Chains A and B, each alone.
Chain A
Amino acid sequence: MAGKRISSPEGLEQLRKGILSKRDPNKLIVSICTMSVCGQSRGSVDVCERFKEEIRRAGFEDKVDIRETGCQGFCESEPVVIIFPEGIYYVNVKPDDVPEIISTTLVERELVDRLLYTDPTTSKKGAKESDISFYKNQMRIISGNNRYINPRYIDDYIALGGYSALSKALFQMTPEQVLEEIKKSNLRGRGGGGFPTGIKWETTRNAPGKPKYVIVNCDEGDPGAYMDRSLMEGNPHSVLEGLVIGAYAIGSQEGFIYVRQEYPIAYENTIQAVKQAEEYGFLGENILGSGFDFKVKVHLGAGAFVSGESTALMSAIEGKLGEPKMKYIHTAVSGIKGRPSCLNNVETWTNVPVIINKGAEWFNSIGTEGSKGTKIFSLVGKVNNTGLVEVPMGMTLRQLIYDIGGGIPKGKKFKAVQTGGPSGGVIPEQHLDTPIDFDELTKLGSMMGSGGTVVMDEDTCMVDTARYFISFCCEESCGKCIPCREGLRTLREILTDICEGKGEEGDIEAIEDIAEVMQDASLCALGTTAANPALTTLKYFRDEYQAHIKEKRCPAKACKALTSYYIDPEKCTACMICFKNCPTEAIHGGKGIIHWIEQEKCIKCNACFEVCPPRFSAVRRFSGEPLPPLPAPGTKVIREKKR
């Protein structure tokens, strides 16, 4: 894969020229995401194999390049195939579509209409990014290169200008100048804390003691967030380049990349990237002939959300238990083995080469007063276009969810958007015009966090949402300190009881009391922020809590214990679909015989509600009121009524 060691900036440019000279800019490229979980889970590997087979059969290898890439962001529509140089997007592609794409688009240069993206609100078709609502409002400075790069092939990164920022830093700037540039850029940490990166670097640089360490935190544990996965999987060199530049500025010779265990592809791609970077001399001794040495070790996590907390992560790197430590001295001053250690998030590191190349002034031209640059969000949940989106800070939540996300599917009503993961909170409709900015979201009681943005609709119960996050933190708590461990245990029981109709007078006050003590007294940020989802749902949806406690009613009809499923005999056409999908055989009836649900067998899995065709909508959910009477067994469907 990689060639011989590069030992000067000129050598790097020669290498780049050499790579580019072997690439025909007019050659067609078929870009498919196979190096990522999303694509793989949707069958993109089969689509890719079919392309290879058909192209080989047609003898087109010298005319068409197949580029296997990492995550391209438009995950809901995977398998996605992009045809370059035009940049035509085909969505939900199946292997059997491949021959048509080859003959129509690659040969005849025409579009295959049925495979184009259809806007969920306007129903218009779009072929290129500029026509696709999901993409056209984004600003993909960091994530955009994913579609051009095979993450296991360093030359792809170099062809796009990769490692030029490193070269510039090492040969045209002093470490102090690099530090100044990052400070001037006002880059803030993208992992959740939003701490000014330049200040963290400076603190580490100025702290007494050697060696100093730099760390990439890829222990992305926030459920619903996968930005770091897509960067580490899809463009690991962008992270590495940022890391080496940071090490140079700080005065560190040794770095670590900590990848969570649930991301095996990201781990493999990182290992490969490190190896190839070493072969070219972007890592190791005397990088590019600059005299600067830097090496990197990759660590795999072992399944603990709390290990992403900085003191815990550093503990794990030392081979000790990955649990947080009580520390009133910043890890930038005393971290791994008591040495100055600078830990930054994956996305933070990827911003560094961009800032060095384009300048702090350019970076400051994007975003808001307090939050510069772009942010990648994982827009997921009850939204039409789910995937990873990169937008300038300052875009509103409404624009994100509706303009880019295409709004709420199935005509449902928006209820809230959850940001910041388990440390964050829910934001209701009345605040949708809030600009996305570190400080603005904090003012609402939530936070930006790592960028997880989970959209919820009228069918989502806010009490259950709080219960979910509290349960998550309860399971992930390290268990060391009493407020977090026992606080979460008790909160979980209270919230579970409320969802099961066993809420009591005084429960809301108890939740608030425990939550506030956790905020004040827990040892680490998991504990101090774990109750935020409960507090924000209470702030904005107190009425839902009261309905659960006083009326034993779940307004969203989501809490199993408070909801019953019923098939409306007036609407049922006995089509047998729900009958076949019920996992417990709780549905009785037959062809032409009205279906009815046996309540004792019903596990409230929602399958019947999901599969009943919308034109019938015969399945209804009841909460807080008695069910209507069942039809007599054997009642036949009266067809005339349906005409």
Chain B
Amino acid sequence: MTARVARQWVAGVDRALPVWAAVVLALVLLMALPLGWLVWMSVGGAAGATLGHYAQVARDPALLAALWNTVVLSFWVGLASLAVGAPLAWLTARTDLPGKSVIRSLVLASFVTPPFLGAFAWVMLAGPNAGLLNVLWRSTTGATDPLLDIFTMSGLVFVVTMYTFPYVYIMITNTLLLIASDLEEAAAILGAGRLAVARTVTLPMVAPALASGFILAVLQALALFGSPAILALPAGFHTITTQIWALFQYPPKVEMAAAISMPLLLATALLLLVQKRLLGRRGYAAIGGKGGQRGQIPLGPWRWPALLGCLAVMACAIFLPYGILAKAALSRAWAQPLSWSNLTLGNFAFTFFEYSATRAAIVNTLELGLATATIGAALVAMLSYVTNRRLVLGHQLVAFLALAPIVIPGVVLAVALFIAYTRPPFLLYGTLAILFVAYLTKEMPVGYAQSEATFRAIPPELEDAGRILGAGRLRILWDVTAPLARSGIIAAWCFIFIGVIRELSASIILFSPATRVMSVVIFDLKEEGQFGAIAVLGIVMLALTFATVLLVQKALGRDVLGVREGEPPPRPRRADADANQNGVGS
């Protein structure tokens, strides 16, 4: 008995050593070193450790205002995302709403749209004076005041919500699809009205998903850089992310940036902890997997108004912004009507042939995307196989560490990496390598969650059968596991790739002129007001993103949101939800 345990233990250690060494090294470089430097920088003074930087933050009204603005923004985005995402999820998952699959595809489109492009489009739509919607409003009503002013906190909340509600939608949809409707039917048979059923049966079952969706949305808003930079700065207010970035301007105040990063880091970690508790507590005794029947709730006369409501949301998230981007790309002056004299291909010519930064940026972006996605997918496949099959001791710890970067917002990660890699022994600043490290760290949890879910869905019995027939582990990995896991790993690859090509919040601090990527170029152009060129590059970025999404669909045979038409997902998709929470965040 003890001999057997000991033998297993020895075998475990043998296999574990190289894996452990690789993982520890990777995590030290990716996490411990930068975060260690970040903490050290925030307390480092000329005469040893000090809390002076924190005191300085606490005394500076501008920095406190930035902190407070972030709290306000995140809270309202969380609530608004619930208000938009939850009804949409219920409508598409549980009712006979017409055009459900179209709505779902549109939610997916909003999910993968870089939020900073949306913010930029909304400047053209709802700038208080030149914004097209306001111009239209004035000319039809004769009003002098604008209908919408996007350069306000509420404008910012609105735009951010349009690209954040999909997180809530995914959480709720996946929960609703897992809950068999027999409990609801039982309640109905016992005489409860439709509202009573919803209130006493459905709502308690989705409550953890609602709370957790709220937290996901808050976390997104917390970490966002592009949208506040585009909408809040013109209005004269900072959020914590834009403030950190501003502290990096010459002469840089890196210690202050490090100190003010801490509350952001702690808040994120705390919220994730709460979310984990919430999700961990739900027993889901009522979830029947594939067993339960799911009836469709007839909407009756509300079918068409409900559809109209969904389309209105999609108009704000997709139709209008994409339309105005296309218009800006094709016109000499975006604010003028699209007449023949205003029509031009000049923006394309300028962007691709005259502006020398474009091609280098596209090449850099693609190189980084391919490298990060490929190496990242290989890494997470290895990690998740090892943890899922429990091949090493302490596999829980490995799993935890692989998911841990999720608590680091992009800007904070960038500050940490900047401090760690602009000094010996690792001088990575100014090379693509530092961006690669940032992207790999940032996207690792997404990829890990996706590929972990893949291995969970592949029963180990097949591998055991192979072992019994005498094949070695590597042979089985190649002949049995790899073909089964392939599509899941491709999906992980795509998630990482999409995350990388849109990444802005870390890139904006880590780029150097020779290593600009597309998002940074777009941001540069924004600061100079080159609307046409931004629109052209934005369209290129969207095209790349959607091509990748199509690839995922093909690989998985389902859409990225984890929903197959008319069928629940094969297993509880908590991993997807985890994956999705860091998927955006630009």
Question: Do A and B come together as binding partners?
Answer: no
A residues apposed to B, CB below 8 Å:
none
